[in-house]
């Protein structure tokens, strides 16, 4: 990352405030304004860690030369103002520094050019994140609740659908909501699989493979209730665990199973009361199953079954604990099977932005990081966000033999780092074609009745 450092000059005898010039000049880099801007993300648990890692690569990427911190000594007590460059603004963005084009000619312009920052808020679930984004409404009055934090992107492990509604119930007039378009940007592939435990005494110890129909009969139809009804199982009841309702993973798992996946859980164990052995639990965490708090019927986790993100399971040993992924229809959730859609429960992961409509819509900084738009060919590469542009349009070090644009001043291969980071998080790119965008998108207009594709 390019930096410039200047020693601070001590401030003495200052009798008035200096005026800071924070107005970004026009820039030749799409979706930038020469100013450091913060972008906030909230929502999904599943994508929390990988988005944090991707945000780190973005914030550490090469970009413009920034104004250093300065303290100006005003000459006399009668001085009322002086113009100084804004700290952390791209140099050349103000008249004081001169034309930005000439000054920044050698800067890397394909990554995080103006060094925007990403704040990845702690997860509350995909549904919560989408609702929080939907409620960012300042149409004619400050309609957003004072207790609702502003965000720019909702992390979502579920796609847009009519089951998610963003309506006037959030405090906005239906007319304002109806003009808003949410863009669901798929940036990675994952899958949901069933997990079980081998304890030596569990009914599912020797069960390694279930069919899609087996799983539907276990989670929704309630016609398979004993492990001896599936190959390898012994005569012990199946203890079903499912995911909390606010989760995008729960919505996706319900859709895969064709119904409410808490149906076969006894009422006493899905009333939200932890003390009596709740079996509707936080997603992607095996500990509640293994602990079986105050639930003697679930004391042997070897009798239990639970849906789990394959990406989280592969990379988070604490989350998966002692659970084991199963096969589905004889298939393992490999990258090839997930990306091709051969594995039955493959899914996309999304970042959701407000693409158009009443203010506030996605900022330049938001689009620079995450935007996917209609793409006609390489000429449109720079109009795509960092996460979505083809790998061959990212900058790389001049001596790097890998895919990318050899760029003077680039300190690494940014596209390769992006791919490595995604896979390290347990997830996979939508495509391995380095010439094609890495994202897809669907737009949803939000109206008073439901959310429908446009």
Q: What is the mean pLDDT of residues 188-192?
A: 98
Under the banding of pLDDT at 50, 70 and 90, the label for residue 361 is: confident
Which of 249, 203, 251 is closest to 230 using CA atoms? 203
Q: What is the pLDDT of residue 275?
A: 77
- Measured in degrees and rounded to the nearest 5, phi and psi for residue 414 equal -70, -35
Enumerate the domain spans of the chain.
120-189+347-453, 198-322
Is the preceding peptide bond at 360 cis, omega within 30 degrees of 0? yes
Under the banding of pLDDT at 50, 70 and 90, the label for residue 4 is: very low
Which of 161, 168, 174 is closest to 127 using CA atoms? 161
In words, the CATH class of domain 198-322 is: alpha beta
| Lowest pLDDT segment from 187-191, 271-275, 276-280, 350-354 | 271-275
Other Cβ atoms closer than 10 A to 398: 10
Q: What is the pLDDT of residue 107?
A: 87
Q: Which conformational region is residue 209 in: left (phi greater than 0), alpha (psi within -120 to 50 degrees), or beta?
A: beta
Q: What is the pLDDT of residue 162?
A: 52
Under the banding of pLDDT at 50, 70 and 90, the label for residue 195 is: very high
Other Cβ atoms closer than 10 A to 374: 8
Q: What is the pLDDT of residues 67-87, one digit of tens each?
A: 887 666 666 555 555 556 677
Dihedral sign (CA 378, 397, 120, 48): positive
Q: What is the pLDDT of residue 382?
A: 84
Do the beta carbons of residue 188 and residue 54 sit within 8 Å?
no
Structure tokens at 414: 């940014």
**For residues 253 and 243, what is the distance between their CA atoms, to the nearest angstrom?**
9
DSSP letter string, 173-210: -HHHHHT-EEEEEEEEEEEEEEEE---SS-TTTT--EE
Q: What is the pLDDT of residues 201-251, one digit of tens each?
A: 899 999 999 999 999 999 999 999 999 999 999 999 999 999 998 899 999
Q: What is the pLDDT of residue 454?
A: 39
Burial status of residue 310 (CB atoms within 10 A of its CB: 0-12, 13-18, 19 or more):
buried
Q: What is the mean pLDDT of residues 446-451?
A: 48
């Amino acid at each position: 990352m390019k930096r410039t450092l200047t020693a601070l000059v001590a401030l003495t005898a200052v009798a008035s405030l200096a005026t800071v010039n924070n107005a970004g000049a026009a820039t030749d880099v799409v979706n930038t304004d020469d100013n450091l801007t913060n972008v906030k993300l909230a929502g999904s648990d599943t994508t929390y860690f990988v988005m944090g890692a991707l945000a780190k690569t973005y914030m550490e990427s090469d970009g413009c030369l920034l104004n250093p911190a300065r303290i100006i000594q005003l000459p006399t007590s009668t001085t009322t103002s002086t113009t100084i460059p804004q700290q952390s603004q791209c140099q050349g963005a103000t008249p004081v520094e001169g034309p930005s084009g000439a000054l920044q000619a050698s800067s890397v312009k394909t990554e995080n050019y103006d060094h925007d920052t990403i704040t990845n808020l702690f997860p509350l679930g995909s549904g919560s994140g989408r609702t929080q984004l939907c409620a960012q409404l300042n149409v004619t009055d400050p309609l957003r609740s004072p207790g609702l934090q502003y965000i720019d992107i909702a992390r979502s492990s579920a796609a847009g659908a009519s089951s998610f509604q963003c309506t006037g119930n959030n405090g906005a007039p239906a007319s304002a909501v109806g003009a808003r378009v949410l863009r669901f940007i798929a940036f990675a592939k994952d899958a949901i699989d069933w997990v079980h435990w081998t304890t030596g005494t569990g009914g599912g110890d020797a069960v390694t493979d279930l069919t899609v129909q087996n799983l539907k009969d276990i989670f929704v139809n309630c016609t398979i209730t004993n492990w001896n009804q599936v190959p390898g199982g012994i005569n012990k009841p199946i203890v079903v665990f499912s995911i909390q309702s606010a989760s995008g993973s729960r919505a996706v798992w319900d859709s895969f199973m064709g119904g409410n996946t808490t149906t076969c859980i006894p009422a006493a164990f899905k009333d939200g009361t932890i003390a009596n052995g709740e079996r509707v639990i936080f997603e992607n965490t095996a500990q509640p199953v293994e602990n079986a708090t105050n639930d003697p019927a679930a004391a042997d986790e070897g009798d239990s079954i639970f849906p789990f993100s394959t990406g989280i399971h592969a990379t988070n040993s604490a989350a998966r604990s002692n659970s084991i992924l199963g096969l589905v229809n004889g298939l393992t959730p490999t990258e090839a099977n997930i990306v091709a859609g051969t594995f039955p429960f493959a899914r996309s992961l999304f970042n959701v932005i407000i693409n158009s409509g009443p203010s506030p819509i996605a900022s330049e900084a938001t689009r620079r990081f995450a935007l996917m738009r209609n793409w006609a060919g390489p000429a449109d590469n720079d109009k795509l966000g960092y996460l979505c542009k083809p790998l061959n349009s990212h900058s790389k070090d001049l001596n790097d033999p890998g895919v990318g644009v050899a760029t003077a001043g680039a300190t690494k291969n940014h596209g390769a780092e992006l791919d490595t980071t995604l896979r390290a998080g347990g997830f996979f790119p939508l495509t391995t074609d380095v010439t094609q965008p890495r994202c897809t998108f669907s737009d949803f207009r939000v109206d008073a009745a439901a959310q429908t594709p446009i």
